Structure 1
């Protein structure tokens, strides 16, 4: 609110704010003024999602820290005013949002350029011990900074405070959690900002909205109990100046389950600036994509994998348009893929696969040139993928719906709208070479490939049908 007020001070724009701490009388005035278009920009918390606020005049809804809102809350305004433009913002988008972006239901862009002079935060995974805690807190104190200690169990906070006072007796330590009075929370946060408090023991209440450049060390206790996105958001509370930030994720022992280990290792590995998108992508793989039409914002897809899931999703989305935009499904026993050593980024490989699934001849040529320019000479597996994509494009125009390889034959299935001209050519070819081509009772065409190169055989067959 303060940033908006400052930036628009020279413009005739009325800006107001609404939160749970706004008095009932002020709220009623805000509702009335917003409905009568006397307020241009209304900034608020979850308090904005209520039945008393009229959304008829809302042209743009910006949802910052989108991962903190439920699907029902986000849909409330959208359902009331379908013409509203919506911009979701998050350092770590939830799986459902990532899924909708990858499937083309939402446009997305990401910022990978950090503010000037920012440094990547050094992240360490350690078994909890007093030596590490003392060294990290002392180092931050000696360079005139302050430190966060995250503990989500309020009952343990006093014990942790006593332990820290024994370790670093020369530092001022205090506690912040949601059960405290709001004024007391604000006072302690301001004291922390002004370095009157050196160490702040807190819950995930500090996960969002805090910008304290003086804080450059964070210790996250029992880190195995946190999700990837939550850890990344907590780490984002430090390193907001030109000083080096240090993040310590502590676990009670090395004997934690493999899923937690994998999650924490991924968090440590993705500590570079702009890593939020990578973390969100891994979160999508771990937790699943959620329901596009439901309210679940995550759900398991690990049994089939992300790529196959996206393919299935695309098929489902286009199911009512099969007649308009048919495609040819090709199943042959040939290795055809984008090798990881050739294009290491999973996200970039996924983008190429998605482009290929929709490609026409011109787009396919562009993809070939682009990859040649970016990654060098195409490996054999990629050349196979391009050949299959090319055959699929040609087959689609011939109304061929499936090409399947069995142990001795290649089977062609045709759509009901097969053109007479194509059918005549197929019948003619079958009569000329009955030992190689055979039409079955179900309308399928079988080709006996006799250990020939399958891709070349397919390409020649398609040319004969054309």
Structure 2
């Protein structure tokens, strides 16, 4: 970021350096033309010459590839839109009674997600929605309300989960939530005897079982449904390729809701491209604290003290150790370190009955520390566990670390998570980035942000075929996504296309920038300029003002002018102005052709009347043009007048008819 003075006006520019040390200064109001390069891990971008043809050639090649994908996606999207499913009825009295029996106040995001899901269910098109929300943020309750709605219309519901323990816990939750309502619940998992499983399968075939929860056992050939209408998939990324193929076969005609805390890059990307619908729960439940997160070298003194602190408040501890062959030795070490602690071991190579017995004993408080592998990642909800250790955390992926941290802090007491790596070990750059990210994202509700960061550390992965990998690396993930989005948009039917919002050019001679003495860090400066750029309403502008004061203190005059210029842009966008320019003691306000069509000439005359003879009106071709004389006026005075004029022009807009056309 560099501040340059041109014709007596100070402005901030982003300096780009090209191959051969060529330089280009980008004004901050055009920051949206610059994107951060995101490729696969360890992949450095290739620099091009300024004005050379190489970059254009690379983009042309990627564009051709992207157009093929866009065709596939549009076809997929059109097939999905054309598919006939079942349109569920509006909410019944019993639905309202069921929802009122929820013992907690639902959060704002929960309420919004429920509304979005129900709206989808009431359409004839089969639903395919992704519900993103942190562990313990109430995704299950949202899913159960949708499931109840399906059952009220006589449809059966399948609730697919990745682990036996989770299936058991969901089963218990369902028994509690559906108590007193005419709902028959089935459970299919390895923890059920053959006889119990057969009874459930029989009930699904003859329609006496309304909802079944289970692991991939639900996908077995012997499981047939009388009338399956709704499928909930919990943590889709935990299922293997063959399971996913079977899920695909089930899902073509029925409504599907996928729940996840940190979606895999591909799933998230598909949602962001509009191939899947997306709901996000970011608000934490009441009385929830962020988990205190530490990234540290392995240290026995720290481990002992943290376990003793947890035991002193009658809490429990997870110690994650991912090597089954030496896990018993690790449990003995912890017993020797804290002799008062009752230590148990759990891992995936134990028999089902053994594993269930250990987990249930731990759940009932018979043990203080559970030394375990990553099987707890999508495991049981134990609110009493509020200290977590992860040994060799540098070997794990970011979403996995985040998922693990979500196992603690699910109650109204402060929780602690220690991500440890071997002493004196030099960490790989990607591992360091992941550990840094997990430390940064401590605020509640960061799951979605973690998935986005994971995208930027790992690249997008295989979006639609391995051949795309090289293309993503050649232009970077952001630009690739933008090109794909543009290609999809170009192929959409006209009525579905999003109306393009044309940028407003504001060229006025004022010192509107962020001085270095106010924000010294370049990265923070870029972040703030991006926020200015993205503001589209007065409410967002006020929020940015209070944020700025909160973070950096009272702002100087230059930043005040930056807010004024942004306010001008907001008003201009609202009325269809494409340019506000200062030249020769005049301010010219030029409407776009579309903006000119949307405004009433007689009302424009009323608006400019209050400025007397200082504002003139005319045409530039087919576009409306206003000219304000600013001679003999101070900067503050004419700037205030221009803001008032552009704001008042909203009252001259033509009213829209119900069809949405002016």
Is 1:289 matched up with 2:289? no
Is 1:242 matched up with 2:412? yes
What corresponds to 1:157 in structure 2? 327
What corresponds to 1:108 in structure 2? 278
Q: Equivalences for 1:414-429 in 2 at 5 Å?
A: none
Secondary structure of 2:213's aligned partner:
strand
Q: Equivalences for 1:198-277 in 2 at 5 Å?
A: 198-252=368-422, 253-277=424-448
Shift of 1:315: 2.8
- RMSD, aligned α-carbons: 3.9
Secondary structure of 2:333's aligned partner:
helix
Q: TM-score, normalised by structure 2?
A: 0.50
- Which one scores higher on RCO, CA 8 angstroms, separation ≥ 6? 2
What is the CA deviation profile of residues 444-463 of structure 1, one whole-angstrom value per residue up to 9, with x for unaligned ones?
xxxxxxxxxxxxxxxxxxxx
Change (3 A) 1:177 1:299: farther
Aligned mates of 2:265, 2:202 — CA distance in 1? 37
Is 1:76 matched up with 2:263? no
Shift of 1:83: 2.5
What corresponds to 1:411 in structure 2? none
**Stretch moving more, 369-378 or 322-331:** 322-331
What corresponds to 1:340 in structure 2? 527
Aligned mates of 1:298, 1:232 — CA distance in 2? 26
Shift of 1:263: 0.5
Aligned mates of 1:50, 1:245 — CA distance in 2? 40
What is the CA deviation profile of residues 338-392 of structure 1, one whole-angstrom value per residue up to 9, with x for unaligned ones?
95214559xx95xx8xxxxxxxxxxxxxx35564454352668x969x99x9769
Native 8 Å contact 1:217 1:245 kept in 2: yes
Aligned mates of 2:439, 2:177 — CA distance in 1? 37
Shift of 1:322: 8.5
Which among 350, 353, 360 is matched to residue 180 of structure 1?
A: 350
What corresponds to 1:8 in structure 2? 178
Change (3 A) 1:300 1:134: farther
Native 8 Å contact 1:55 1:80 kept in 2: no
Change (3 A) 1:321 1:185: closer
Native 8 Å contact 1:98 1:289 kept in 2: no
What corresponds to 2:367 in structure 1? 197
Aligned mates of 2:310, 2:448 — CA distance in 1? 29
Secondary structure of 2:419's aligned partner:
strand
Shift of 1:30: 3.2
Shift of 1:309: 2.4
Shift of 1:15: 1.1
What corresponds to 1:375 in structure 2? 544
Native 8 Å contact 2:320 2:374 kept in 1: yes
Change (3 A) 1:323 1:298: same
Secondary structure of 2:257's aligned partner:
strand
Change (3 A) 1:371 1:240: closer
Aligned mates of 1:178, 1:296 — CA distance in 2? 35
Q: TM-score, normalised by structure 1?
A: 0.70
Gaps of 5+ in 1: 353-366, 398-424, 427-466
